[in-house]
Chain A
Amino acid sequence: MRIPSRWGRWPVLGAALLAITMLVPPAASGADRHAATAKRVHGWSARQASRFWTPARMRRAEPVEQRLRRHASDRGGTALPDRGTPHRVPSRPAAGAASSGFEPVPDPTAPVSRVNGVVFFDFLFGLARCSGTAVNGRNLSIVVTAGHCVNIGWPLPIWFTERWAFVPAYRFGQHPYGVFPAKWLGTTRGWLTTGSPNSDVGIAVVGRNERGQRLGAAVGGAGIAWGLSPEQVFDVHGYPAEKPYNGRRQRVCEGAKYLGHDPYSFLQAGPLNLAVECKVTEGASGGGWTIRHNTLNSVTSYGYEGGSQNVYGPYFGQEVARLYRQAVKIR
């Protein structure tokens, strides 16, 4: 299934995919069934969002993974990376690493780039950030990101409803199209009930910015596709904030080819995930993987420590389709 982008560059493919969808019985989408997979966000206006998310606060926000890890460290938790070991030696860069570089986007306000942005929110452990993508939908208010950027996931399904906002085309603390506060957050049932990275997809419905514009009217929206073959060539977008990056610029790995499935994804519930080569760091979570430049088909979920060049994203299947259909109904 593919929702055409705002620019509608591939009407033929869109029609073909639409025909395919019509052959597939629609998924059940009763409100009760999805009640637990979404959360309304109350009392958060565009003006408040704009006032709160000052350039200083946006710079201070750390990738959500770092926040969670630091908290685990403070509590003596087990979810810790190796630290202070006597002979921790960084791995050698693999041959051809340059091809997987996360290159800065020269102009994030260009039509294809401005749909990408940074997700900011506040939660128990401090100001946090992820990446996200504005996606076309009839409410013109859809942001797709990673599930762990809206909810911690199983076994602690805590929603990140505090001061959740999307800043498209973010650059060096600036928000050229304004700040869009969330009014609804949703994730997949798989992420909530199993914590499987195979289901690590989240969607936000955002309100108008401080200028009264809807997200889709301000920046447009990428298309979205699901149920396609995993063998695609992706452009991986995001705002990596961990070294060697600093999170101030939008970056992209262009033409990242599908490598296969992570073996780890076979041990988790849900559809097998996708691996591509792209040197991504924390902060890029939730960043969009687009095919043919403007059709979203996955998001950045996780990578491995130790100089790995690979990044992994969930397959967009029926679970994502259900979530999207649920989100576009939100007014």
Chain B
Amino acid sequence: MRRRRPTAALVLALAALAALAALGPPAAAAGGPGPRPAAGALLSQAAAHGPTPDAPSFFQPVIPLGRHGNYTMEAFGRQGRVHMLVSLGGRAAALYVAPGTTTPTRLEASFGELGRISMRFRVSSNRTWVKPHRNCRGKQRYVNRRGVFVGGLRFRGERGYVSVRIRRAKGHVTAVAPECRRKSSGGGIFPFAATSAAKRTGPVPATLRLSWLDGVEATAFSAQARPRGTRFAAEAAETDGKLAVFRFAQATGGPGRLRIDEQLTTARTNPPAPFSGSGAYRAAPDGTFTWDGSLRVNFPGAPRTPLIETPFRAHLGGGI
């Protein structure tokens, strides 16, 4: 049996978001303002778990849906899954993933009670770009076709925190040539992850990590003391039938928001928004530990998600 860490699903969700960023040039070339949520420090872990590989012939239909209230939305397809990405600047994001039909000309899936998408792609005339992909060597190419998606898309986030209903939208389909070989950076389609892991030298920052795994749901929280401030991140993954939802939130606070003793036995934290409340970690000499407090996080679509639950798995480590 292969073992994965409890947060692997979450980390890979972030990695998926990062993959979008890694594939950024085509989207940027198409002029789409696609949301690019910050992937967070945990991306370095994605490399350790092995990246999600590209399909041999990769293509990605993308429908930028623009701003809806405070959120930016984008629908895209990949490897037989349709994704709906809802992001709140670089602070938080929710990714809804459903199995469906993803071809260079079709995007179809049901998001269950949250909505559905059934759209066909019509290429605009004279609107096709062929440019070198930054991750490809030599004469390798990707093709970026711009056009219009027509059909129907409706999506309403949990308790209506975001809502979109369209019949037509501009979009693009990016296809990487099958023979495109990535640079041998060791990072696959996660150059960010590889870079961040490779550059990680010197003392390991003090880090507090907690994770929960319950059935097919998982939640994780991490706080890491860095020279420029303390970085907080929380992630959650859940499935509901044929729909998976990944949520992510992050914040940066002053050094006083994470206090860890030199023996690495106690830690107290009170992260800034979108977090609220505080948490206290305490390890006893006999190997037991406690994690108490009122810490919560406001995920898109899941406000005030508690980060104090039992049972949980904890880790406090690193140099100070």
Q: Is A140 an interface residue (CB 8 A)?
A: no
Contact check, A87 vs B6: say whether CB atoms are below 8 A apart: no
- Contacts of A124-164 to chain B: CB distance below 8 A: 148, 154-155
A263 and B13 within 8 A (CB): yes
How many pairs of A and B residues are in contact by the CB < 8 Å rule? 163
Q: How far is the CA of A252 from the CA of B186 in the complex (A)?
A: 39
Once the chains are docked, how many angstroms separate the CA of A260 from the CA of B287?
A: 33
Main secondary structure, interface of B, reads mixed
A196: chain B residues at CB < 8 Å are 52-53
Q: For residue A259, which residues in chain B have a CB less than 8 angstroms away from its CB?
A: 215-216
Q: Which of B80, B241, B283 has the most CB of A within 10 A?
A: B80
Judge whether B315 and A303 touch: CB under 8 Å: no
B50 within 8 A of A: yes
User: Is A275 a contact partner of B215 (Cβ separation < 8 A)?
Assistant: yes
**Pair B4/A305 contact, Cβ less than 8 Å:** yes
Query: Which positions 248-270 of chain A face chain B at CB distance < 8 Å?
Result: 259-264, 266-270
The answer, among B1, B188, B265, B313, for a CB contact under 8 Å with A282, is: B1
Q: Is the CB of B242 within 8 A of A272?
A: yes
Least CB separation from B283: chain A residue: A87
The answer, yes or no, to whether B81 is at the interface (CB within 8 Å) is yes
C-alpha gap A327/B197 in the complex (Å) = 42
Q: How far is the CB of B92 from chain A (nearest CB, A)?
A: 18
* CA A316 to CA B79, docked complex, whole Å: 18
Complex partner residue of A268 from B47, B52, B217, B246, CB under 8 angstroms: B52
* Chain B 10-54 near chain A by CB (<8 Å), digits 1 or 0: 001101100000000000000000000000000000011110111
B264 within 8 A of A: yes
Bound complex: CA of A306 vs CA of B213, how far in Å? 9
Alpha-carbon distance A263/B9, docked complex (angstroms): 6
Which of A76-84, A108-116, A206-214 lies at the binding interface? A76-84
Verify B48–A65 contact, CB threshold 8 A: no
Instruction: Choose one: A87, A240, A263, A301; the contact of B315 (CB below 8 Å).
Output: A87
Instruction: Give me the 3 closest cross-chain CB pairs, A-B, nearest first.
Output: A302-B2, A264-B9, A266-B244
Interface size class of A (residues with CB under 8 A): 35 or more
Any B CB within 8 A of the CB of A308? yes
Instruction: Say yes or no for B228: interface residue by CB 8 A criterion.
Output: no
**CB atoms of A308 and B1 under 8 A apart:** no
A-B contacts, 16 of them at CB < 8 A, read: A86-B317, A87-B314, A91-B312, A92-B312, A93-B311, A194-B53, A259-B216, A260-B241, A261-B244, A262-B216, A264-B237, A266-B81, A282-B2, A285-B2, A301-B2, A302-B1
Contact B5 A263 (CB under 8 A): no
A86-B264, A94-B311, A263-B246 known; A306+B52 contact, CB < 8 A:
no
Question: What B residues does A167 contact at CB under 8 A?
Answer: none
In the bound complex, CA of A238 to CA of B1 (Å): 10
Which residue in A89, A238, A260, A308 is a CB contact (below 8 Å) of B239? A260
B93 in the interface (beta carbon within 8 A): no
Which one of B2, B245, B311 lies within 8 Å of A65 (CB-CB)? B2
Q: Indicate whether B117 reaches chain A with its CB closer than 8 angstroms.
A: no
